[in-house]
Structure 1
Amino acid sequence: MVDTMQAAVLEEFGQPYILKQIPRPPQPKDHDILIKVLVASYCHTDAIFASGAMSKDLPCVGCHEFAGEIVAVGGKVSKSLEMSPGIRVGVPGRAYNPCSTCFECTNPDKDPMGYSPFCPHAGNLGLTRDGGFQEYCLVDSRQVTKIPDGFPTNQVAPLMCAGLTVWAALHHERLRHAKKVAILGAGGGLGHLGVQFAAHLGLSVLAIDANDKSLAFLRKVKQELESAGDNVQVADVRKDDVASMRAMMRETGDKPMNELGLDAAIILPESQAAFDTGIKLLKNHSTMVIVSFPKNGFHFSAHDLVFRDITLVGSLVGRNYQLSEMLLFCQKFKVSADVKTFPLSQINRLVEEYHKGVSGKLVVDMKL
Structure 2
Amino acid sequence: MASDRIPQQMKAQVLTEYSQPYTLKDLSVPELASDNDILIKVDAAGVRDIEVAIMVDADQSQQYCHTDAVLAAGQMKPNPPKFPHVGSHEFAGTVVKTSSSSDKTCPVGTRVGVPGRGYHICGTCFECKDPNNDYAGYSNFCGKGLSNGLSKDGGFAEYAVVDARQVALLPDAMSAANAAPLMCAGVTIYRALKRCRLSAGQRVGIMGCGGGLGHLGLQFAEAMGLKTTGVDAADGPLKLANSLSLKNVRVVDARSTKADALVKEIGEQDGVEDRPNMGLDAVIILPESQASFEYGCSILKNHGLCVVVSFPEGGFNVSARDLVFRDISVVGTLLGTNSDLQEMVSFASKHNIKAISKTYSLAKLNELVDEYNKGEGGKLVVDMAL
With structure 1 as the length reference, what TM-score do the two structures score? 0.93
Q: 2 CA distance for matches of 1:88 and 1:298?
A: 40
| Alignment partner, residue 190 of structure 2 | 167
Corresponding residue number in structure 1 for 2:97: 72
Partner of 1:105, secondary structure, is coil
**One-letter code of the match for 2:258?**
D
Partner of 1:333: 351
Pick the aligned partner of 2:14 from 9, 25, 38.
Answer: 9
- 1:137: how far off? 0.3
Over aligned residues, Cα RMSD in angstroms? 1.7
Query: What is the alpha-carbon distance in structure 2 between the residues aligned to residue 249 and residue 167 of structure 1?
Result: 24
1:106 is paired with a residue of what secondary structure? coil
Contact 1:288–1:311 (Cα < 8 Å) also in 2? yes
Tell me, yes or no, if structure 1 residue 195 matches structure 2 residue 218.
yes
Query: Which has the higher mean CA deviation after the structures are superposed, 137-146 or 205-214?
Result: 205-214
> How far apart, in 1, do the equivalents of 2:163 and 2:133 lie?
18
Q: % of aligned pairs identical?
A: 47
**Residue 214 of structure 1: CA displacement?**
1.5
State the match for 2:342 in structure 1: 324
Q: Which runs of 5+ in 2 are unaligned?
A: 1-5, 54-67
* Equivalent residue number for residue 246 of structure 1: 263
Aligned with residue 213 of structure 1, among 236, 250, 271: 236
Deviations 1:27-82 (A, max 9, x none): 45310000000000001233313453525432121011000000011122272x2x
Q: Matched residues in 2 for 1:6 and 1:51: separation?
A: 27
Correspondence 1:56-135 to 2 at 5 A: 56-59=80-83, 60-77=85-102, 79=104, 81=105, 83-135=106-158
> 8 Å contact 1:43–1:63 — kept in the other structure?
yes
Taking the aligned partners of 2:270 and 2:22, their CA distance within structure 1 comes to 54
Q: Report how far residue 199 of structure 1 moved.
A: 1.0
Q: Which 10-residue stretch deviates more, 23-32 or 196-205?
A: 23-32
1:208-244 CA-partner distances (Å, limit 9, x unpaired): 01122221211111x2xxxxx2311110000001122
| 2:362 alignment partner, one of 344, 349, 355 | 344
Bigger Cα displacement from structure 2, 44-53 vs 278-287: 44-53
- Does 2:319 match 1:311? no
Q: Distance in 1 between matches of 2:320 and 2:127?
A: 30
Q: Tell me: CA distance 1:280–1:101, structure 2 relative to 1, closer, same or farther (3 Å).
A: same
Equivalent in 284, 289, 292 of residue 307 of structure 2: 289
SS in 1 for 2:43: strand
1:36 matched residue in structure 2 = 41
1:226 corresponding residue in structure 2 = none
SS class of match (1:148) = coil
**What does residue 151 of structure 1 align with?**
174
5+ long unaligned stretches in structure 1 = 224-228
